[in-house]
């Protein structure tokens, strides 16, 4: 496991050895603040040592599904879980991935424009999927009724949301905004989004755990 500097808040990110995960997690600005958690060792890792867990797109769904009870205990201990990309197995409490439609790949709408994770971002800064075929997406979700819907596609399906009700912790689902892939290919909006998410998660951790 990667050695990191001591911080008041401890962040872990699951690493499956995929190129875009490596390209982000091993950057100097991130490897010094994010502990790398190899997917092959996930079953042995004490998740309660972390305040924030990040699951990049490409995380092995079978492995995390097998460890869903441990992930649930992490959330019940007031942890923050951040998931990018598809969630095709039932391992995140209250999370239901609902497949893909063409609108998932089109322009997105920020619903909560004042939310800190959209600092310095506009709708157009979130349209990262612009392939030649117009079809490169990671789907949408059916959000918990009490969830905070932050981003939708043009027909109103949730693309990014926060769930504060399913557990004692906080869950941020950011399916289409798979920051790791798009930081890796040099999209500035993805870098801003990821930095904002990290800052937001650290501030929320302080509130959850009595640091403010």
Specify if 79 maps to a domain.
yes
In a domain, 5, yes or no: no
Three-state DSSP at 55 gives: strand
In this predicted model, what pLDDT tens digit does every residue of 67-76 receive, in sequence order? Answer: 999 999 999 9
**% of the chain at pLDDT higher than 90:** 67
Mean of pLDDT values over 54-60: 95
Does residue 9 register a pLDDT over 90? yes
Confidence of residue 130 (pLDDT cuts 50, 70, 90): low
Cα separations in angstroms, 123 against 40, 137, 150, 159: 37, 17, 11, 13
Which ranges of the chain does DSSP label H, i.e. alpha helix? Answer: 19-25, 28-31, 61-66, 68-76, 179-184, 188-208
pLDDT interval class at 2 (50, 70, 90): very low
Both tokens of residue 36? 């790398």
The reported pLDDT for the residue numbered 1 is: 37
* Phi, psi angles (nearest 5°) of residue 155: -110, 15
Position 6 confidence tier, pLDDT thresholds 50, 70, 90: very low
Q: Is 174 helix (H, G, I), strand (E, B) or coil?
A: strand
At 12-40, the pLDDT tens digits run 999 999 999 999 999 999 989 999 999 99
Q: Are strands 11-15 and 52-55 parallel, antiparallel or unpaired?
A: parallel
- Please state which of the ranges 64-73, 101-110, 146-155 shows the lowest mean pLDDT: 101-110
Q: Tell me phi and psi for residue 170, to 5 degrees.
A: -130, 135
> Taking the chain, what is the end-to-end CA distance rounded to the nearest angstrom?
30
Residue 186 lies in a domain: yes
What CATH number does residue 30 fall under? 3.40.50.880
Could you tell me the pLDDT band of residue 135, with boundaries at 50, 70 and 90? low
Q: Is 4 a member of any domain? A: no
How far CA 60 is from CA of 4, 14, 57, 84, 203, in Å, comes to 24, 9, 9, 12, 28
Answer yes or no: is 107 within a domain.
yes
> Virtual CA dihedral for 201, 192, 39, 151, nearest 10 degrees?
70
Residue-level pLDDT at 211: 53
C-alpha span between 88 and 168 (Å, rounded): 23
- Please answer whether residues 80 and 169 qualify as being in contact, where contact means their C-beta atoms are separated by less than 8 angstroms: yes
Q: How many structural domains compose the chain?
A: 1
Mean model confidence pLDDT for the chain: 89
Task: Answer whether residue 163 is part of any domain.
Answer: yes
- pLDDT at residue number 102: 79
Q: What is the pTM of this model?
A: 0.91
User: According to the model, what pLDDT value does residue 57 have?
Assistant: 92
For 110-127, give one letter per residue: b (16+ CB within 10 A) or e: bbeeebebbeebeeebbe
Higher-confidence residue of 183 and 52: namely 52
For residue 116, what pLDDT is reported? 98
- Percent of the chain whose pLDDT exceeds 70: 92
Tokens, residue 121:
């971002």
For residue 119, the enclosing domain spans 11-208
Asked if 140 and 96 count as a contact pair (C-beta separation under 8 A), the reply is: no
**Residue 177, in any domain of the structure:** yes
21-35, 39-53, 102-116, 194-208: least confident range: 102-116
Separation between Cα atoms, residue 55 and residue 205, nearest integer Å: 17
């Amino acid at each position: 496991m990667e050695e990191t500097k001591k911080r008041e808040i401890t962040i872990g990110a699951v690493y499956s050895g995929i190129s875009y995960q490596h390209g982000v997690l091993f950057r100097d600005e991130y490897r010094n603040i994010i502990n790398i958690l190899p997917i092959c060792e996930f079953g042995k890792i004490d998740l309660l040592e972390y305040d924030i867990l990040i699951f990049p797109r490409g995380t092995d769904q079978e492995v995390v599904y097998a460890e869903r009870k441990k992930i649930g205990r992490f959330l019940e201990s007031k942890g923050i879980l951040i998931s990018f990309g598809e969630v095709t197995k039932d391992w995140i409490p209250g999370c239901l991935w609902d497949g893909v439609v063409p609108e998932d790949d089109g322009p997105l709408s920020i619903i909560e424009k004042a939310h800190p994770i959209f600092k310095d971002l506009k709708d157009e800064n979130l349209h990262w999927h612009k392939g030649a075929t117009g079809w490169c997406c990671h789907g949408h979700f059916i959000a918990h009724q009490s969830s905070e819907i932050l981003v939708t596609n043009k027909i109103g399906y949730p693309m990014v949301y926060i769930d504060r009700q399913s557990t004692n912790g906080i869950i941020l689902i950011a399916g289409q905004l798979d920051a790791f892939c798009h930081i890796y290919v040099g999209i500035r909006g993805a870098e801003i989004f990821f930095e904002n998410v990290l800052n937001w998660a650290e501030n929320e951790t302080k509130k959850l755990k009595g640091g403010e």
